Amino acid sequence: MSILDQIFVFHPDSWKDRDWKSLSGLPLEEVWFTAADGAKLFGWYVEGRATNGVILWCHGNAGNIINRLENLKLLYQSGLSVFLFDYRGYGRSQGRPSEEGLYQDALGAYDYLTRTRMIRPERLVLFGRSLGAAVAGELAVQKPAAGLILESAFPSIEAVAKFHYGGLPVHWLLGADFSLIDRLPQLSLPKLMIHGDRDDIIPLELGRQVFEAAKPPKFFYLIEGADHNNTYQVGGAAYFQRWAEFVQTVIRS
């Protein structure tokens, strides 16, 4: 990982020891597992209603899983089981982040769910937000799943860099690519894409490019008034209802 990657791409937070299970009111199960290349990683699993789908959540580039507890609770309350894990170098997970490393981490999370918990791919929905959308997209290329949810997604690091730096090719200086747009044409599984119309980090036009690059079946869900980090808060009940409809459709198809 280059210094520029640390500045522009990866922003991990270290772990804070708290009784997160009691503080969140969630039945958090602590999970230690290994990435495909052997890195030791940490995550939380919450078991929802058995008839519903299981979400494998690849989060964004900043913070760690602690920062997703509010969102995790709302997904759990909607009846879903969720496995939320930290990439290498984030939270309690060991190592240093890199593009290839994050892909290996997602493969390890998938193997944990399908091999250790014996969850069939037909019940598994991959979810990636922001940078995690590219990670979930790569995972979907390599492994079967019932569906794919991409939120606040971008076509590539190059596209984001050009947007924010007036077309200057600053992406040449970065070691990371995260080219989701190159993976989407390979994916035939159902896809739900979510974006806020006030996102100033990954603007809506980049989210539209991601949607246009994807092959059907695909669905676009626009959240009016939402920025990059508050889609689920602004979206409210309608947001989680759209989630539930998509998950139930794909796991029953």
What confidence tens digit (pLDDT) does each residue in 101-147 have?
Answer: 999 999 999 999 999 999 999 999 999 999 999 999 999 999 999 99
Question: Any residues with CB less than 8 A from the CB of 115 and at least 6 apart, and which?
Answer: none
Domains and CATH numbers, the chain: 3-252 (3.40.50.1820)
pLDDT exceeds cutoff 80 at 40: yes
In this prediction, residue 190 carries a pLDDT of 98
Give SS3 for 133: helix
In this prediction, residue 109 carries a pLDDT of 98
Known catalytic membership, residue 130: yes
- Mean pLDDT, rounded, for 51-79: 95
Among the listed residues 5, 86, 105, 199, the single catalytic one is 199
Q: Could you say which DSSP state residue 44 is in? A: E
In this prediction, residue 177 carries a pLDDT of 86
Binned at pLDDT 50, 70 and 90, residue 1 comes out as: very low
**Residue 41 near residue 93, CB atoms below 8 Å:** yes
Give SS3 for 38: coil
Give SS3 for 34: strand
pLDDT exceeds cutoff 70 at 5: no
Known catalytic membership, residue 14: no
- Name the H helices within 69-172: 69-77, 99-111, 131-142, 157-164
pLDDT exceeds cutoff 80 at 34: yes
What confidence tens digit (pLDDT) does each residue in 215-233 have?
Answer: 999 999 999 999 999 999 9
In this prediction, residue 172 carries a pLDDT of 42
Q: Find the length of the chain.
A: 253
Among the listed residues 130, 152, 156, 179, the single catalytic one is 130
In a 10 Å sphere around its CB, with 0-12 CB exposed, 13-18 middle and 19+ buried, how is residue 197 labelled? middle
Indicate the range of 152-161, 182-191, 236-245 predicted with least confidence: 152-161
pLDDT exceeds cutoff 80 at 179: yes
Known catalytic membership, residue 228: yes
CA separation (Å) from 110 to 34, 104, 135? 10, 10, 12
